[in-house]
A and B are shown apart, each in its own frame.
Chain A
Amino acid sequence: MKQRPRAEERFAVSADIAHREINDRLLLLLPGDSRLYAFNDAGRLVWQAVLRKRSATQIAATVAKTFGIPLARAERDVRELLADLLRRGAIRRI
């Protein structure tokens, strides 16, 4: 089983992912999947940060600041989302 994302790790969007922002909503199409995934505002922020090659810690700090939530909670939520995206092949470690 792959390790969960670590604090200083950075990620990149996988080459075979179709993604686009439409009317402030981020939509994602994974290879081999027929459904589109729509991200909420927090998910969109995480995705944008992944595109900018931010580390998991930096992403969590941005999420905590933007949504006014405790850093520990943001770190937990961001790691969970990154782990899920890794598991689905939407992003990869760099």
Chain B
Amino acid sequence: MVSSFYSIGVLILILAHLILPLLLFFIKEKYARCYSIIIGSLIGAFSIFLSLSFYYNPDINLFTFNLNLFGLDYKFRIDNFNYSLILLNGLITFAFPLATHIKEREKDFYILSFLVMLGTAGLFLTQNMILFVLFYELASVPMYFLIANWGTLGLTPFRKVEPKYAAMKLFIYLQLGGILVMLGFIILHSLVFPNDLFSNWNFSDYENILKVKGNLVDADLAKVLFVLFFIAFGIEAALVPFHTWLPDGHSAAPSSISMILAGILLKMGTYGILRIPFVFFNEALTSLSLIIIFWGLINMFWGAFNAYRQIDFKYLIAYSSISHMGVVFMGLGANNDLGVSAAIFQMVSHGLISAVMFSVAGSFQYRANTRILDDYGGLLRVMPFIGAILVFASMANLGLPGLSGFVAELIGISASLKAIYSNHLKIIFLLGSLSAIFITTVYVISLLEKVLYKKINPNYYQLKDAYWDEKLHLTVLALFILILGIYPRLIMDLSNLIKIKQIIGL
């Protein structure tokens, strides 16, 4: 059951996510934020510690916690798939209480948002299908209440978006994804263990059986199952025809919840694709590779194109998120060594960048009481710190060398090029992705121009620059963007396909 200090650490990480926030019930309303900041920092530091100790000591047996209760394995493990996402999860857990500007019903707010963090951390760590679905729902159900209760009005060029509408839309979409995942698990179970009434639902059992009896699932069925899982998780990861919940949800949510949504919740979907269909039906992927790469390209292009048209700050960041998730799909579709690294690297990099940008958007909204881009102007002069951070994050967003966004895009595109064999398609792909990157540059620069450099609105002269809490979490997140940019081996070393195949035994 317990093999090392680290395996107890994994258990403690889950329990800390569960128990520390529940103590909020006994804390007075006015100390709720203070307490949340403390426990967020503790949990965040512990996650970063565990993830870095896995980096320096990459032995999954040390990091496995397994407890069998009444016939179900409560198995949690840090491995090459998820150690970087645990790092990201820790950083967001640390950052979001510091970025919160909520003033009413604070206790409810923090309890619900820590429940989301429990769901995401558990989903990344668990090795069991029932627990996987459980944590998936735990992460998506409180989102409804968080957005509907504390949300603000969003604005697109065409319509206004009420928070309750956005919350219900998000909830229904995420439930659809969750229930499709459940359907996929049920089909998988009926194929692999047809006569097992009390089965264990462990990933490893399915991996072993699918590996030994390769003919258990025939090629066409494997393709169908791959597509089912891809779409099911793609709904959560903002795959293009199913992405419309994401901009509405992001812009309606309070900014710290947007940080969680973009930083972690989107990664649940891509991690799910990586962990389940990518591993279980890897042969099916080889024939679908091209479709998925181009699907990713469409995602990238569509997100960038829509981001350019937006008038609301948060809508712009949300569409840029969709654009960046395209790189993850490309990397997964490429199905080669670089591709998986690119996908995982982009998950972490995009999590950090979008968290910083949403936090900045939240700070602007808190001070200037608007999110319309044309209402801002010249804010760099009154808020030099936040402005500088916004410039930094935007540069990372458009892929400036030396920052994390560049590495992800570079290896993502080169991995996809390696996986495309036809020369014509290579040229089309290259043109498409480069024009998407070009559009990204255009909207990022125009964003900076509108927000920071135009003539200043006279109402905004008295606005304050960042407080200590904003300074703290923005600096830490920006530091990690820089670290990943100049030392990408932190993720690339362990998350490549060879290492992953060794674990799974593909």
Q: Do A and B come from one complex?
A: no
